[in-house]
Amino acid sequence: MDKTTVTFTWRGALEGAKRCLPIEISGFAIGLVFGVLAGQAGLSVVESFLMSALVFSGAAQFVVLGLWATPLPVAGIALTTLVVGLRHLLMGAALSPFFSKLSRLRAYGSVFFMADENWALTMSEFSKGKRDAAFLLGGGLAMFASWTTSTLVGRTVGGFLREPARWGLDFAFTAVFLALLVGMWRGRSDLLPWAVAALVAVAAHHLLPGQWYILLGGLTGSLAGAVRRGV
């Protein structure tokens, strides 16, 4: 695979923002819900907005709302965020063959905006032979705008939206990821790593609290793929 000619263009960024549109829309709905729940958990408007703008991670933000109490368990909140974010380590590693070709500012600036969804779309672009790394940033910035705006709207006027499951919205991202997986399937060589990932993730989801299942499934599945290629 040729990873040498990686570009970083406006065109790529715009393409990323455009292709992430369905995610920006469903993300907006999820952000509304986050704003509502943040208000119920006792976060002020400014605090809710700052959290969405600085942390920009739906998974971490929803999880810490469950910990938000007086007195605030600051260390516990930081540690939980770290654990929920550990999957980013693997995602960043997967970007590195491409992003290590960029300037530091572009690479390390872009990853601030790396969420599961725009990362997945970017990897799917790369797997099709596209090489414009600004795709991640473009998608990320658009998602950032949608996420922060919807948090504000939800926090201030969104009292009517409480249960995302009632609208089937909890399934929107599952559907997006499934559709991306369909495009990523390369044939038999993926069978073992995907089966290992699925088994480990289901077991870990059942046995462990929180988000460990993503990290454990991703790690064991990808290692299974690497070991198999070695023999």
Partner 1 sequence: MVFDLQALLAILLMALATYATRAGGLWLASRLTLSGRVEAWLDHIPGAILVSIVAPTVLASGPAEALAGLAVVLVALRTGSLPVAMVTGVCAVLVLRAVA
Site string for partner 1, 113-152 (x = CB under 8 A): -x-x---xx-xx--x-------------------------
Q: Which one, 79 or 157, has the nearer CB to partner 1? A: 79
- The structure tokens listed for 230 are 């070695």
Judged by CB under 8 A, the stretch of 10-18, 70-78, 146-154, 155-163 that binds partner 1 is 70-78
Judged by CB under 8 A, the stretch of 5-13, 68-76, 145-153, 155-163 that binds partner 1 is 68-76
Q: Taking the mean position of all CA atoms in its chain, how far away is CA 141?
A: 13
- Please give the Cα distance from 207 to 205 (Å, whole number): 6
Among 157, 178, 207, 208, binds partner 1 (CB under 8 A): 178
DSSP labels for 89-138? HHHHHHHHHHHTTS-HHHHHHHGGG--HHHHHHHHHHHHTT--BTHHHHH
Among 4, 129, 182, 187, binds partner 1 (CB under 8 A): 182
- Please give the Cα distance from 213 to 97 (Å, whole number): 25
Question: Taking the CA of residue 123 as centre, how many other CA atoms within 13 Å lie in the half-sphere pointing to its CB?
Answer: 20
Q: Which one, 158 or 218, has the nearer CB to partner 1? A: 218
Task: State in angstroms the smallest separation of the CB of 56 from partner 1.
Answer: 7
- Please give the Cα distance from 136 to 119 (Å, whole number): 6
Q: Which one, 46 or 157, has the nearer CB to partner 1? A: 46
Task: State in angstroms the smallest separation of the CB of 157 from partner 1.
Answer: 18
Among 11, 21, 66, 157, binds partner 1 (CB under 8 A): 21
Judged by CB under 8 A, the stretch of 8-16, 21-29, 141-149, 154-162 that binds partner 1 is 21-29
> Which 100-119 positions form the footprint of partner 1 (CB under 8 A)?
100, 107-108, 111-112, 114, 116
Count of other CB atoms within 10 angstroms of residue 120: 20
- Please give the Cα distance from 173 to 156 (Å, whole number): 25
- Please give the Cα distance from 80 to 113 (Å, whole number): 20
Report if residue 41 touches partner 1, rule: CB under 8 A: no
